[in-house]
Amino acid sequence: AAELEYESVLCVKPDVNVYRIPPRTSNRGYRASDWKLDHPDWTGRLRVTSKGKTAYIKLEDKVSGELFAQAPIDQYPGIAVETVTDSSRYFVIRIQDGTGRSAFIGIGFTDRGDAFDFNVSLQDHFKWVKQETEISKESQEADTRPKLDLGFKEGQTIKLNIGNMTTKKGGAAKPRASGSGGLSLLPPPPGGKIAVPPIPPPSSTAIANHVTPPPVLKSSNTSSADILLDLDAPASASKAPAPATTDLWGDFSTASSAVPNQAPQQSNWVQF
């Protein structure tokens, strides 16, 4: 994992002064007024980088970029970087070489804004480190907790009651009211009645054009006509007068009267 980590630059300041500081004689902290501020021991460029969770303060040459000293920082604020008690532009850092030796030196910025950027870059980096540590700790705790099994066991079923639905999916459709002839009729309005449209009676001329009564036979053939009438209807019906009818088609005798040049129709003819 360490090989896959890359180095990122957090802050670069082109001017920084380095001072050789005297040993601290008390626990009150360092004071920049005890240094020779007008005569810095070295002047160069400061670059703050990070690799993984560790930050590095690198002091480099302005022209060649050669590394003068390096201070690894594991936490901030801490012993690796300390502020002085009498100024916000000066800090004390602990530099280390590759052999494990370390020393404390003082650094200072001419501009107060550069010192502020240097301080904020370190704070932001270790704030991110703290968040990453908390997230990894929570994930490890979640892995160690027993997992809740919400799956169905073999043969286990559940029953759902959705509203007042008692039929299955695709149940029978609602019956529709239908009238004669397969046509659906609307219900009558409240307090009203359904008015049936009257059927107009057919005209006598139309009946005469479609149904023509047979011609009247002469007296010589009366016996054969009577025989035909006896076959169509009983004798009692032939002598009785034709009853009144409410048939929409009317009497053929009425229809025959409208036909010109027709002999009067006998009353014994069968009516429809």
The lowest-confidence range among 63-77, 86-100, 107-121, 191-205 is 191-205
Going across the sheet that includes 42-51, the strands are 67-73, 54-60, 42-51, 7-19, 102-108, 90-96, 81-83
In angstroms, the Cα distances linking 202 to 195, 210, 211, 254, 267 are 21, 12, 13, 13, 22
pLDDT of 235 higher than 50? no
**Percentage of the chain exceeding pLDDT 70:** 57
Instruction: Note the pTM of the prediction, 2 decimals.
Output: 0.51
Contacts of 7 (CB under 8 A, 6+ apart): 49, 50, 51
Residue ranges of the domains in the chain?
7-140
Q: Mention every residue, 6+ apart, whose C-beta is less than 8 A from residue 129.
A: 53
pLDDT at 236 over 50: no
Give the residue, 41 or 203, on which the prediction is more confident: 41
Higher pLDDT pick, 230 / 55? 55
Least confident of 51-55, 120-124, 137-141, 187-191: 187-191
Mean pLDDT, range 10-23, rounded to an integer: 92
- 77-81, 137-141, 184-188, 263-267: least confident range: 263-267
Q: What is the pLDDT of residues 201-226, one digit of tens each?
A: 655 554 445 555 555 555 444 444 45
210 or 82, which is more confident?
A: 82
Q: What is the CATH number of domain 7-140?
A: 2.30.29.30
The per-residue pLDDT for 109 is 94
Bridge-based pairing of strands 7-19 and 102-108 is: antiparallel
What is the torsional sign of CA 146, 131, 96, 32? negative
For residue range 171-211, list pLDDT tens digits in order.
Answer: 555 555 554 455 556 666 666 555 556 666 655 554 445 55
Integer Cα distance of 97 and 101 in angstroms: 6
